[in-house]
Chains A and B, each alone.
Chain A
Amino acid sequence: MGFLTDLAGWFADPANWQGNDAIPGRILEHIQISLAAVIAAVVLAMPVGLLIGHTGRGSFVAISLANIGRAVPSYAVLVILFPLSIVFARLTGSDLALLATFLAMVLLAIPPIVTNTFIGLREVDRDLVEAARGMGMHGSQVLGRVEIPIALPVILAGLRTASVQVVATATLGAVIGGGGLGRYIVQGIARRDDARLVAGALMVALLAIATELLFAWLQRRSVSPGLAARGAPGEAAAGGTAAGPVGAPAA
């Protein structure tokens, strides 16, 4: 059990709670950049998903995005974008790695959000939409009062996939010089310091699992009360996307 003692020792070491590599600071950094990326992706992707889902036009965009999002590995995206942030850093004199990491995170979060928003809206019972129209609601009312509330669990499932993906990509960002909890892993590998390596990895894993659980909880809570009684439409599709029972992979 020597290793577990080392690990406990690492967490107990006051040096890891101060300065540049202070644990709370790194956790905060990780959450901040992840949150910023998810918000940016929602702002970009949600309107597209809502538009395609509501009108039913351009569905090929959602399907292709789902396939591309699944095929493109996050680490490769990060690395391909890396030169961009070097150029950016030279031009502006600002943080080198942040741009590539942030862009990669946003890009990777877009496909599950668009796809799930689209699927969520499309899965809404056509009879309900017809009924809403019959009651005299116009397009945006149908969307806001009927379609979105009913589709919410599926939309949140997309957000969940995206967020877990983003937390993972933020970790990889440390490889190209970014901050966050990935730093401990990168330093642990470089210094052959297993305690630091595993401590970082454990915190990353816990953060990812916490993100997943948070969204799972939100997803359950978001089932429209009127539908909860007759079995939620979101349950079947929760966590899944277009092409099969399993959604986009984590990084």
Chain B
Amino acid sequence: MREGDPFIRWDWLIDHVDDVWGYTVEHIWLSAIAVMVGFAISFALSLVIVRSPRAYTPITAATGILYTIPSLALFAILVPITGFSVLTAEIALVSYTLLILIRNIVAGLAAVPADVREAADGMGYARWHRLWRVELPLAVPVIIAGLRIATITTIGLVTVSALIGQGGLGRLIEDGLRRFFPTMYVTGAVLSVLLAILADAAFVWLQRRSTPWTRARTETA
């Protein structure tokens, strides 16, 4: 920032709308890929846990350790293996979604009332059929709650991945800090927060839509 420049230079922003939009789209993609891959892995691991509940403790302990490692450190540890690449960013981002998603998928399934299971058994559902047609639909609110937290977390962490050369809106922060240009880093930070808030709102809406039966009774969060 040169002496005398205003704190936010709106003219710069107007000139660079296309760039900012490009970073925003990149940010959304990096987040979406991480959450989708994370969900696929978590779903598979949750099925393992459903089959053999003893797997729950080791799986959550391992993903819990990953979850505890600060993001910058996890990105950094991967650099010698996968370099300053999208892969490095995605491996770390996916790692952070696992604990959240697995805990919520398993908790959602565990919360299905025993009566409902018995009724399904009585109707002749086979085990996996029952899981797919009865238990999973009932677990949807809790699973979406997990997706919501995982998505918001990921959107925040994508900005950090700019430090290893990725990062969507994080690139604006990275460049802006290097050039002492507040317009850039404040824009990057504010937009990443807005993105998280929008995603949060989208999930609240999705949660209502996907569970029409809850509206008939009480509004559950």
Contact = CB atoms under 8 A, between A and B. Distances in A.
A204 to B, nearest CB: 4
Contacts of B145: 243-244
Interface stretch (A38-46, A74-82, A115-123, A227-235): A74-82
A232 B107 CA distance: 19
Interface string B141-156: 0100110010011011
A204 B160 contact: no
Interface residues of A, number: 44
Interface stretch (A8-16, A52-60, A127-135, A164-172): A164-172
B68 interface: yes
B90 to A, nearest CB: 17
A75 B156 contact: yes
A79 B72 contact: no
A129 B150 CA distance: 37
Nearest to B200: A71
Interface secondary structure of B, over-half rule: helix
Contacts of B33: none
A77 B155 CA distance: 13
Contacts of A185: 72-73, 76
Nearest to A2: B80
A82 B185 contact: yes
A124 interface: no
Interface residues of B, number: 49
Given A168-B70, A243-B145, A244-B145, A201 B157 contact: no
Contact of A73 (B7, B159, B164): B159
A49 interface: no
A79 B186 contact: yes
Interface string A145-179: 00000000000000000001001100110011000
B221 interface: yes
A25 interface: no
Nearest to B71: A251
B38 interface: no
Nearest to A181: B73
B156 A189 contact: no
B137 interface: no
A35 interface: no
Q: Most chain-B CB neighbours within 10 Å: which of A75, A80, A168, A197?
A: A75
A245 B70 contact: no
A29 interface: no
A182 B71 CA distance: 11
A184 B76 CA distance: 10
B68 A208 contact: yes
A3 interface: yes
B164 A189 contact: yes
A194 B77 CA distance: 9
A201 B189 contact: no
A83 B200 CA distance: 27
Closest 7 CB pairs of A and B: A73-B156, A168-B70, A201-B76, A249-B153, A201-B73, A76-B189, A204-B73
5 contacts: A72-B156, A172-B71, A201-B72, A201-B73, A245-B103
